[in-house]
């Protein structure tokens, strides 16, 4: 799929470059032809003015090696009275040329004595100031054709070489342009595969427990409670998973994740800590909260609470009974620094870069038992990013973990 796309992009680039180049080449060619035509007309006018005077302004004219001209002065009946000394044609052909020029209704144009290119002449017909008859100046367009032909040949050669070069350059550029798209495509594919896998597990558990219940229809609901509770737990897990997936999908589609407002941080975090106290007590973990009063944040209150909940939930999940989890808020001058630390199992250095990835779990089986799908820190990362803040981890295996969130003040 990407090979075809790369080729398509390359061809589009090449076509655009070819069209622009053709446009410029045609412009240059046209300008040059026009300027040579204007010069030819000017020369023919000058020759016509000086025809028969002998003196004339011939010096300037003879210098122009690009223009090959001669003139003829005719009587009223078209008979040739005088010609310039430099006649490049025979008397016969001259008479034909003059006859055709005089017959032509226009004052200037082209006449030919045969179909061959070298027998074509440009002409200018004027009436002399004294006397009757005509002055007809002929100019050989061959040098102009030669220059124009040269230009077209040069354009063709450089144009073809340019197309080949543009093709390779565009192929390279298209490859580079596709790298981020390819990466995001791969990430998306992996995300969908992981999500399906995660959803399949609770669905399978629900199915199995339903089969057990169905297998004993004579039993009472109370006696089947164990299986029903399993179904309840798994469906709640699934609902949370679906919520998390929707959140990340919204983050991916660049939808607005946060609705910003000013709010005091302390009461918001009080609510979060209160919600986690029963869980901490059940697990025998001491939950500390080091408040920093008077911090007012410009942020999304609900998302900040969600972020702290994820970090506290992880702290409580990965800290054994008897340990401690501490939430600390600091005021670094503007914005806020939220630090969640625990005395738990810690995270080895090699995992630090990966734990913020979607579905990444250090111990898959363990994490699943605790209800984790590996999305918590990915969501935390998205929330922090939406607030233009940063999140980092300081931890080592067996030495507890510290997550530090820095949120900027209002810009």
Residues 205, 196: Cα–Cα separation, whole Å? 15
DSSP, res 130: S
Output the smallest distance, CB 182 to ligand ADP, in A. 25
Q: Which stretch binds ligand ADP (CB under 6 A): 77-85, 91-99, 192-200, 367-375?
A: 367-375
343 is a site residue for ligand ADP (CB under 6 A) = no
Asked whether position 360 contacts ligand ADP by CB under 6 A, the answer is yes
The Cα angle at residue 232 between residues 229 and 237, in degrees rounded to 5 = 130
Stretch that binds ligand ADP, among 64-72, 186-194, 286-294, 372-380 (CB under 6 A): 372-380
What is the per-residue binding string for ligand ADP in 303-322, x denoting contact by CB under 6 A?
Answer: -----------xx--x----
Q: Considering the rule CB under 6 A, would residue 198 count as an interface residue with ligand ADP?
A: no
Compute the distance between CA of residue 181 and CA of residue 186 in angstroms, rounded to an integer. Answer: 9
Instruction: State the Cα angle at 62 between 56 and 65, rounded to 5°.
Output: 155
Q: Which is nearer to ligand ADP, 82 or 363 (CB)?
A: 363
Q: Which of 83, 372, 382, 383 binds ligand ADP (CB under 6 A)?
A: 372
If we measure between CA atoms, which residue out of 248, 264, 273 comes closest to residue 386? 248
* Closest CB 213 distance from ligand ADP, rounded Å: 29
Tell how many helices (H) and how many strands (E) occur in the chain: 9, 12
Token pair 């028969």 in the structure block, residue: 52
Distance (Å) of CA 401 to CA 43, 263, 297, 315: 91, 28, 25, 8
Least distance to ligand ADP from the beta carbon of 280, Å? 14
**Which residue, 202 or 372, has its beta carbon nearer to ligand ADP?**
372
Smallest separation, CB 395 to ligand ADP (Å) = 7
Rounded to a whole number of angstroms, the distance between the first and last alpha carbons of the chain is 43
402 binds ligand ADP (CB under 6 A): no
Q: Closer to ligand ADP at the Cβ: 209 or 341?
A: 341
Residue of the chain from 97, 287, 338, 377 that contacts ligand ADP (CB under 6 A): 377
94 vs 380, beta carbon nearer ligand ADP: 380
Closer to ligand ADP by CB, 100 or 352: give it: 352
Query: Which residue among 234, 300, 337, 342 contacts ligand ADP (CB under 6 A)?
Result: 342
Q: Which residues contact 223 (CB under 8 A, 6 or more apart)?
A: none
Instruction: Report the nearest approach of ligand ADP to the CB of residue 193 (Å).
Output: 18
Nearer to ligand ADP, 98 or 287 (CB): 287
Of the residues 74, 343, 367, 406, which one makes contact with ligand ADP according to CB under 6 A: 367
- Only one of the segments 100-108, 255-263, 292-300, 343-351 lies at the binding site for ligand ADP (rule: CB under 6 A); that segment is 343-351
Q: Residue 347 CB, nearest distance to ligand ADP (Å)?
A: 5
Burial of 200 (0-12, 13-18, 19+ CB in 10 A): exposed
CA distances from 311 to 125, 174, 337 (A): 96, 42, 14
- DSSP-assigned states of every residue in 46-80: HHHHHTTTSSTTHHHHHH-TT-EEEEEEE-TTS-E
Number of residues that bind ligand ADP (CB under 6 A): 21
Q: Which of 6, 125, 301, 361 binds ligand ADP (CB under 6 A)?
A: 361
For ligand ADP, which stretch binds (CB under 6 A), given 32-40, 154-162, 211-219, 356-364?
A: 356-364
Q: Provide the minimum distance between the beta carbon of 245 and ligand ADP in the complex, in angstroms, as a whole number.
A: 13
Q: What angle do CA 286, 230, 369 make, to 5 degrees?
A: 45
At residue 221, φ and ψ (nearest 5 deg) are -60, -40
Q: Tokens in use for 207?
A: 């199915």
Q: Are 402 and 395 in contact (CB under 8 A)?
A: yes
Q: Does 382 participate in binding ligand ADP (rule CB under 6 A)?
A: no
Alpha carbon 393 to its chain's center: 33
Using the rule CB under 6 A, give the single segment among 41-49, 106-114, 174-182, 362-370 that binds ligand ADP. Answer: 362-370
Nearest to 286 by CA among 347, 343, 205, 368: 343
Binding site for ligand ADP (CB under 6 A): 314-315, 318, 342, 344-345, 347, 355, 360-363, 367, 372-378, 401
């Amino acid at each position: 799929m990407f090979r075809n796309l790369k080729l398509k992009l390359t061809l589009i680039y090449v076509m655009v470059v070819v069209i622009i180049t053709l446009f410029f080449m045609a412009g240059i060619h046209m300008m040059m032809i026009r300027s040579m035509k204007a010069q030819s007309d000017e020369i023919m006018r000058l020759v016509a003015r000086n025809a028969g005077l002998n003196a004339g302004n011939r010096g300037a004219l003879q210098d122009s090696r690009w223009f090959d001209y001669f003139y003829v002065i005719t009587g009223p009946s078209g008979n040739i009275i005088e010609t310039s000394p430099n006649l490049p044609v025979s008397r016969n052909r001259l008479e034909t040329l003059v006859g055709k020029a005089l017959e032509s209704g226009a004052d200037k144009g082209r006449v030919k004595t045969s179909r061959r290119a070298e027998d074509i002449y440009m002409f200018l017909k004027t009436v002399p100031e004294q006397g009757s008859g005509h002055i007809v100046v002929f100019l050989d367009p061959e040098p102009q054709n030669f220059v124009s032909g040269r230009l077209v040949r040069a354009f063709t050669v450089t144009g073809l070489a340019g197309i080949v070069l543009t093709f390779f350059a565009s192929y390279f550029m298209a490859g580079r342009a596709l790298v981020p798209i390819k990466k995001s495509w791969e990430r998306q594919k992996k995300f969908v595969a992981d999500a399906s896998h995660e959803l399949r597990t609770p669905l399978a558990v629900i199915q199995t427990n339903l089969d057990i219940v169905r297998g004993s229809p004579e039993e009472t609901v109370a006696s089947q409670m164990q299986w029903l509770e399993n179904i309840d737990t798994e469906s709640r897990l699934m609902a949370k998973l679906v919520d998390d997936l929707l959140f990340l999908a919204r983050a991916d589609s660049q939808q607005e994740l946060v609705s910003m407002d000013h709010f005091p941080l302390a009461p918001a975090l009080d609510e979060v800590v209160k919600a986690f106290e029963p869980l901490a007590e059940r697990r025998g973990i001491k939950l500390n909260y080091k408040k920093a009063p008077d911090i007012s944040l410009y942020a999304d209150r609900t998302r900040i609470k969600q972020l702290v909940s994820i970090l506290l939930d992880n702290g409580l999940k990965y800290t054994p009974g008897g340990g401690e989890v501490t939430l600390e808020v600091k005021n670094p001058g503007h914005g806020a620094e939220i630090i969640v630390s625990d005395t738990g199992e810690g995270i080895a250095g090699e995992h630090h870069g990966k734990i913020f990835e979607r579905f990444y779990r250090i111990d898959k089986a363990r994490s699943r038992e605790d209800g984790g799908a590996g999305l918590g820190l990915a969501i935390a990362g998205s929330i922090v990013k939406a607030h233009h803040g940063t999140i980092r981890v300081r931890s080592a295996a067996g030495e507890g973990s510290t997550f530090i969130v820095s949120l900027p003040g209002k810009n």
